[in-house]
Amino acid sequence: MRKGYKALLEEANAVIETVPVDQALRLLGNDGVVFVDLRDPREIQREGRVPGSFSCPRGMLEFWIDPESPYAKPVFAEPRKFLFYCASGWRSALATKTAQEMGLENVAHVGGGFTAWRNGGGAVEMPEPKHR
């Protein structure tokens, strides 16, 4: 039986924590929280990012979380809360569910993603331009 993205999102949202943007805004600067930007680097270059966020392109998430992977990132072994976000909250919802299934315990996502963050008055950091 085929499942569409709407069914996958509904399943994910039923088992993950969604942090409303007003609460996420208050978490910025908390040493116990890592904001994880799942967007493509081109999106980040174009629109900016949550200040101090860790960039983890969605396609690398599983490899960066798994400590047995040759691509594992030490940040995911830290005893902190991981707050995922993407543009609108779809990729981050699915990624949060995947991360939980992989054993990452303290993980949630920002409802509405970076769009809600920006529209809610959240600070935006522009990365250094890429030189060609």
Task: Look at residue 6 and tell me whether its pLDDT is greater than 90.
Answer: yes
Task: Look at residue 131 and tell me whether its pLDDT is greater than 80.
Answer: no
Q: What is the pLDDT of residues 30-89, one digit of tens each?
A: 999 999 999 999 999 999 999 999 999 999 999 999 999 999 999 999 999 999 999 999
Mean pLDDT of 95-121: 97
Mean pLDDT of 89-93: 98
Task: Look at residue 12 and tell me whether its pLDDT is greater than 70.
Answer: yes
Question: Distance from first CA to last CA of the chain, Å, rounded?
Answer: 46
Q: pLDDT: is 115 or 1 the higher one?
A: 115
Domains of the chain and any CATH numbers? 17-119 (3.40.250.10)
Q: What is the pTM of this model?
A: 0.94
Q: Identify the band that residue 132 occupies on the pLDDT scale cut at 50, 70 and 90.
A: low
